[in-house]
Structure 1
Amino acid sequence: MANQNSTSESQPIKQIICIKWGTKYGAHYANKLYGMVSRNITPPFRFVCFTDDTTGVRPEIECQELPPLDVTMPTNTLGKWPKSRLWGEKLGDLTGTVLFLDLDVVIVDSLDPFFEYGDPEDVILSYNPSNPLEKLGQTSCFRFQVGSMVSLQEKFKADPQGIADKYRFEQRFVTRNVPGGVKIFPKQWVAHFRRKCRQPFPLNYFIPPKIPKGARIVIFPGGLYPTNAINGQYTSKSADNAVDHLKQLKDPKNLKRSIRHLRHFILPVDWVKEYWRE
Structure 2
Amino acid sequence: MKKQIICINWGTKYGPRFINRLYAMVARNITPPFSFTCFTDNADGLRPEIDCQPLPPLDVTMPVNTKGIWPKARLWGPTLGTLTGPVLFLDLDLVITGNLDDFFTFGDPDQVVLARNPAKPFERLGQTSVFRFPVGKLLPLQEKFRADPQAVADEYRFEQRFVTRNAPGGIDLFPKAWVRHFRYQCMHGFPLNWFLTPRLPKGCKIVIFPGGLHPEHAIRGGWHGREGISLWQHIKGVRQRNHAQGSAWRYLRHFIRPTSWVEDHWRE
Q: TM-score range by the shorter chain?
A: over 0.9
Question: How many residue pairs get matched?
Answer: 266
1:59 aligns with 2:48: yes
Per the alignment, residue 208 of structure 2 pairs with 219
Corresponding residue for 2:253?
Answer: 263
For the pair 1:235 / 2:224, whether they are aligned, the reply is yes
Q: Work out whether residues 238 and 245 of structure 1, in 8 Å CA contact, stay in contact via their aligned partners in 2.
A: no
Aligned to 1:28: 17
Distance 2:227 2:23 in 1: 29
Shift of 1:107: 0.1
Deviation at 1:237, TM superposition (A): 4.4
CA drift of 1:249 comes to 2.6
8 Å Cα contact 2:78/2:136 also seen in 1: yes
Of the three residues 99, 107, 115, the one matched with 2:96 is 107
The residue aligned with 1:195 is 184
Q: Could you tell me whether the CA contact under 8 Å between 1:239 and 1:245 is conserved in 2?
A: no
- Distance in 2 separating the partners of 1:238 and 1:105: 18
Letter in 1 for 2:15: G
Q: What's 1:41 paired with? A: 30
Tell me how far apart the structure 1 counterparts of residues 163 and 191 of structure 2 sit (CA, whole Å): 37
User: Counterparts in 2 of 1:52-201, with a 5 A limit?
Assistant: 52-201=41-190
Rounded Cα–Cα distance in structure 1 between residues aligned with 2:4 and 2:238: 47
Cross-structure match for 1:272 = 262
Q: Contact between 2:220 and 2:228, CA under 8 Å: does it hold in 1?
A: no
Deviation per residue, 1:58-85 (Å, 9 max, x gap): 0000000001111111111111101000
Partners in 2 of 1:239 and 1:14 — Cα distance? 38
Equivalent pair of 2:193/2:255 in contact (CA under 8 Å): yes
Name the CA distance, whole Å, in 2 between partners of 1:108 and 1:22: 27
* Alignment TM-score, normalising by the size of structure 1: 0.92
1:28-73 deviation digits (Å, cap 9, x = unpaired): 1110000000000000000000000001000000000001111111
Residue 52 of structure 1 aligns to which amino acid in structure 2?
D
Gap runs ≥5 in structure 1: 1-11
**In structure 2, C-alpha distance between the alignment counterparts of 1:210 and 1:182, rounded to whole Å:** 29
Q: Higher mean Cα deviation, 226-235 or 133-142?
A: 226-235
1:223, CA displacement in angstroms? 1.1
Q: Shift in Å at residue 238 of structure 1?
A: 5.5
Identical pairs, percent: 61
Contact 2:222 2:234 in 1 (8 A): no
The CA deviation string for residues 126-160 of structure 1, in whole angstroms up to 9 with x for no partner, is 00011111111000000000000000000000000
**1:261 Cα shift?**
2.8
Instruction: Please say if residues 124 and 184 of structure 1, whose CA atoms lie closer than 8 Å, have aligned partners that are also in contact.
Output: yes
Task: Give the conservation status (yes or no) of the 8 Å contact 1:224–1:236.
Answer: no
SS at match of 2:37: strand
- Greater shift, 144-153 or 241-250, is seen at 241-250
CA–CA distance in 1 between the matches of 2:226 and 2:147?
38
Cα distance in 2 for partners of 1:142, 1:204 equals 29
Q: Distance in 2 between matches of 1:253 and 1:52?
A: 33
Pair 1:154–1:252, CA change in 2 (3 A):
closer
Matched residue of 1:188: which SS? helix
- Contact 1:97–1:143 (CA<8 Å) still a contact in 2? yes
Taking the aligned partners of 1:259 and 1:252, their CA distance within structure 2 comes to 12
